[in-house]
């Protein structure tokens, strides 16, 4: 496959000027738009004359000019025909899933997912008559065996939260194609680094709250997909985005637009630092999980699916064994060493640290956590890029020595 350069793709898509020729696009805040000829209204409502089909804008829950600019950049970034921004990562996930899966439908999903998505599969969707079988995302054979006649889709995170298990996207895409179902991938941990749609995924979802926005000041999500699927999300009668209504505010869209041009630089720096820290921890004998380490079971798979030069991402995990030791390490890292902040979420310029089992994976029952390798002392780090790398390495080395991990 021809190598893909998402930064170049965004650069080529960026042809937008502000209303007065500004180098930045304008923010269009109008919720509704003037239709110049009354006869055009029915055609616009029938979906025959949208802004992407030579027509005009109608109403901002449908298409908004500023959100549209962001959508075009996101589609370029992922190599898809279309993208739909939403008000959160969860709304992107729910709308994409419900567009494909109806009452009685079945999903084969990874058993290593963000806790909210896990709750969606095990608690909320079953209430609506949609069930899921959870399987290890790196076991393509087990995923194939879990597919039933009523299965509509396979759902995985490219790099599973929080144990960083790597999904073989091309193999899963081939399986989905062969069985006539779709592959939906949450690529929140690896924007730019991996482009799942280019590897055969049908739909790619993101929490833009994380790396894509990168400043921990906006909740947003997006769905990158085919034009046909995008239009189905906006259908007047059955479009899940149109009718559930998780529209992204144009002001938030504008902020994300302004941060996309340096996403590539940020991802490379997150990756560079995470690799250095993971390498140092491994040398010290600390149990560390990072896909950039040759010791990681998904290392070769990651290398085979990644775009060139972006590294292995900014997420790593340290297995401290017990909650007590993880909390001790967290307290030292934040309050003594000033290495990072104890907070959930990820993709910020400062390092964010949390104990997954009792926070972002707490929706997963304790016994299931044990089975899938989330130990009570598993500390997830979203490695930031503030401060010098040398001082960060010294800080974490001091902290792991102090708690007896090295």
Q: Which is nearer to ligand PLP, 212 or 286 (CB)?
A: 212
Measure the CA angle with vertex 289, ends 285 and 293; round to 5°. 80
3-state secondary structure of 355: strand
Do the Cβ atoms of 201 and 183 come closer than 8 Å?
A: yes
**Of 82-90, 316-324, 347-355, 388-396, which part binds ligand PLP (CB under 6 A)?**
82-90
Q: Least distance in Å: CB of 265 to ligand PLP?
A: 22
Contacts of 169 (CB under 8 A, 6+ apart): 156, 158, 183, 185, 194, 196, 199, 200, 201, 305
Q: How many CB atoms lie within 10 A of CB 287?
A: 15
Can residue 209 be called a binding residue for ligand PLP (CB under 6 A)? yes
DSSP category for residue 332? I
Q: Least distance in Å: CB of 349 to ligand PLP?
A: 17
- Taking the alpha carbons at both ends of the chain, their separation in whole angstroms is 43
**Of 86-94, 131-139, 261-269, 371-379, which part binds ligand PLP (CB under 6 A)?**
86-94
* Binds ligand PLP (CB under 6 A): choice among 33, 57, 63, 114: 114
Can residue 88 be called a binding residue for ligand PLP (CB under 6 A)? yes
Can residue 89 be called a binding residue for ligand PLP (CB under 6 A)? yes
* Binds ligand PLP (CB under 6 A): choice among 221, 292, 357, 377: 221
Contacts of 136 (CB under 8 A, 6+ apart): 110, 111, 112, 142, 165, 372
Contacts of 57 (CB under 8 A, 6+ apart): 33, 51, 63, 64, 65
Can residue 247 be called a binding residue for ligand PLP (CB under 6 A)? no
Q: What is the pairing mode between strands 378-382 and 315-319? A: antiparallel
Size of residue set near ligand PLP by CB under 6 A? 14
**Of 49-57, 84-92, 304-312, 394-402, which part binds ligand PLP (CB under 6 A)?**
84-92
- d(C-alpha 264, C-alpha 6), whole Å: 8
User: Among residues 107, 27, 114, 111, which one has the least CA distance to residue 65?
Assistant: 27
* Binds ligand PLP (CB under 6 A): choice among 80, 151, 158, 207: 207
Residues 261-320 that bind ligand PLP (CB under 6 A): none
Q: Which helix (H) or strand (E) holds 290?
A: none
Q: Least distance in Å: CB of 158 to ligand PLP?
A: 9
Residues 359-388 that bind ligand PLP (CB under 6 A): 360
**Of 38-46, 65-73, 83-91, 165-173, which part binds ligand PLP (CB under 6 A)?**
83-91
Distances from the Cα of 169 to the Cα of 30, 75, 228, angstroms:
40, 19, 22
The single residue listed with the structure tokens 């006649």 is 149
Q: Least distance in Å: CB of 161 to ligand PLP?
A: 5
DSSP β-bridge partners for residue 359: none
Q: Which is nearer to ligand PLP, 46 or 215 (CB)?
A: 215
3-state secondary structure of 288: strand
Q: Least distance in Å: CB of 370 to ligand PLP?
A: 21
Residues 160-189 that bind ligand PLP (CB under 6 A): 161, 186, 188
Residues 310-369 that bind ligand PLP (CB under 6 A): 360
By residue count, the chain amounts to 406
Q: Least distance in Å: CB of 130 to ligand PLP?
A: 18
Beta strands, E only, 115-218: 131-135, 151-157, 182-186, 203-207
**Of 88-96, 168-176, 196-204, 285-293, which part binds ligand PLP (CB under 6 A)?**
88-96
Can residue 157 be called a binding residue for ligand PLP (CB under 6 A)? yes
Chain contacts with ligand PLP (rule: CB under 6 A): 88-90, 114, 116, 157, 161, 186, 188, 207, 209, 219, 221, 360
């Amino acid at each position: 496959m021809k190598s893909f350069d998402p930064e170049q793709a965004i650069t080529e898509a960026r042809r937008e000027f502000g209303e007065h020729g500004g180098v930045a696009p304008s923010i269009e805040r109008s919720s509704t738009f003037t239709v110049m000829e009354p006869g055009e209204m029915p055609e616009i409502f029938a979906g025959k004359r949208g802004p992407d089909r030579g027509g005009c804008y109608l109403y901002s829950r449908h298409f908004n000019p500023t959100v549209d600019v962001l959508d075009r950049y996101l589609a370029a970034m992922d190599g898809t025909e279309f993208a739909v921004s939403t008000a959160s990562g969860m709304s992107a996930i729910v709308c994409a899933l419900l567009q494909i899966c109806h009452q009685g439908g079945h999903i084969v999903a990874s058993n290593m997912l963000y806790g909210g998505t896990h709750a969606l599969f095990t608690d909320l969707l079953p209430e609506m008559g949609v069930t899921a079988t959870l399987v290890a995302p790196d076991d393509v054979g087990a995923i194939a065996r879990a597919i039933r006649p009523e299965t509509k889709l396979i759902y995985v995170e490219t790099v599973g939260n929080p144990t960083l298990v790597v999904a073989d996207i091309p193999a899963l895409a081939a399986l989905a194609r062969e069985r006539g179902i779709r592959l939906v991938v949450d690529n929140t941990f690896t924007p730019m680094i991996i482009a799942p749609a280019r590897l055969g995924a049908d739909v790619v979802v993101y929490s833009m709250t994380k790396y894509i926005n990168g400043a921990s000041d906006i909740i947003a999500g997006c769905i990158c997909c085919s034009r046909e699927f995008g239009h189905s999300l906006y259908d007047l009668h059955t479009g899940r985005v149109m009718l559930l209504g998780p529209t992204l505010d144009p002001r938030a869209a504008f902020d994300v637009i302004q941060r996309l041009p340096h996403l590539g630089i940020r991802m490379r720096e997150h990756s560079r630092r995470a690799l250095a820290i993971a390498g140092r921890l491994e040398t010290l004998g600390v149990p560390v999980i990072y896909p950039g380490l040759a010791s990681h079971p998904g290392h070769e798979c990651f290398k085979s699916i990644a775009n060139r030069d972006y590294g292995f991402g900014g997420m790593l995990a340290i297995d401290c064994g017990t909650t007590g030791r993880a909390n001790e390490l967290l307290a030292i890292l934040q309050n003594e060493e000033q290495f990072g902040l104890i907070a959930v979420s990820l993709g910020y310029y400062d390092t964010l640290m949390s104990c997954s089992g009792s926070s972002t994976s707490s929706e997963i029952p304790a016994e299931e956590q044990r089975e899938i390798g989330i130990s009570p002392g598993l500390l997830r780090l979203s490695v930031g890029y503030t401060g010098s790398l040398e001082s960060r390495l010294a800080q974490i080395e001091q902290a792991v020595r102090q708690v007896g991990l090295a």
